[in-house]
Amino acid sequence: LAENPQVRYAEAASGDPLPEFLSVAEAKHLIAFLSNARPRPGVTGARRDAHAAFTWQELRNRVAVALHLGGGLTPAEVRALTLSSPISRGGRVRDRPWKISIPANGDSPARETPIAPWAGELLQHWLQVRSERKIPGDMLFPSTATGKTWSKQSHYSATRQLLADAGLDGNEGGTFKLRHTFAMRQLRRGTAPEEVARWLGVEVEVMDRYKHVVSSPMEVV
């Protein structure tokens, strides 16, 4: 298990130094796969209520992966989030989180990072479901209905299975590949490297690893 990059770097700020990332097609596919777990008021028929078939654990897993891809969070950061971490104040849609407050961890200071709108929609639904189930404790993503902390190995197993279910199990890098995808998306949109580094909680020099990949504007998700 420790030989797997996703586990080996699970507590690191930057993870695997190789900036492997999802293609646009892969990212779009994963976003659609994850988004099946939230209400879809704009569609009709069976798809409209498909989210009701998901258990709270399945929803939790999808929202956690959404924060890896849509916010660039590391596995350790996702597990450390509390109910006060999602920030909806000042957003465009009432009660919908648009950024995440991440606590300090080692050399990485506390920070706030924006999340993609689709990830915010999933997180909003998760907060509602978590509240309705009256899961105790302060952890945003508990392991059990009693509020137990989500362990490193349990989180790893859950996200690995989810990516396999999405048809991405052949891709190496796990959740850090999703983190790199977030960084690449921001850089390709023209966000300053200094700002992306701040969102990721890393030194700006870390952005140098992306320079040979970000050579020109490309389609972003």
How high is the pLDDT of residue 49? 62
Sign of CA dihedral 32, 26, 178, 3: positive
CB 180 within 8 A of CB 12: no
Residues for the chain: how many in total? 221
Q: How confident is the model at residue 14 (pLDDT cuts 50, 70, 90)?
A: very low
Q: Between vectors from CA 66 to CA 128 and to CA 180, what angle results, nearest 5°?
A: 155
Q: Whole-number mean pLDDT of the chain?
A: 86
- Rounded to the nearest 10°, the torsion over CA 134, 136, 142, 145 is -60
pLDDT of 171 higher than 90? no
* Mode of pairing for the β-strands spanning 86-87 and 111-114: unpaired
Q: How confident is the model at residue 13 (pLDDT cuts 50, 70, 90)?
A: very low
How high is the pLDDT of residue 48? 59
User: Which candidate, 201, 221, 160, places its Cα nearest to that of 15?
Assistant: 201
Residue 199, helix vs strand vs coil: helix
Q: DSSP H helical segments within 92-173, as ranges? A: 117-132, 152-165
CB 210 within 8 A of CB 184: yes
Q: What percent of the chain has pLDDT over 70?
A: 81
pTM comes to 0.85
> Who wins on pLDDT, 47 or 199?
199
pLDDT of 12 higher than 50? no
When the candidates are 3.30.200.20, 1.10.1660.10, 1.10.443.10, 1.20.140.10, the CATH number that belongs to 5-183 is 1.10.443.10
Q: How far is residue 183 from each of residues 17, 137, 213, 215, measured CA to CA in Å?
A: 13, 32, 11, 14
Rounded Cα distance between 174 and 166, Å, is 12
Model pLDDT for residues 76-125, shown as the tens digit of each residue = 999 999 999 999 999 999 999 999 999 988 877 899 999 999 999 999 99
Model pLDDT for residues 180-221, shown as the tens digit of each residue = 999 999 999 999 999 999 999 999 999 988 877 776 555 545
- Euclidean distance between the first and final Cα of the chain, in Å? 31
User: Which candidate, 9, 172, 4, 141, places its Cα nearest to that of 65?
Assistant: 141
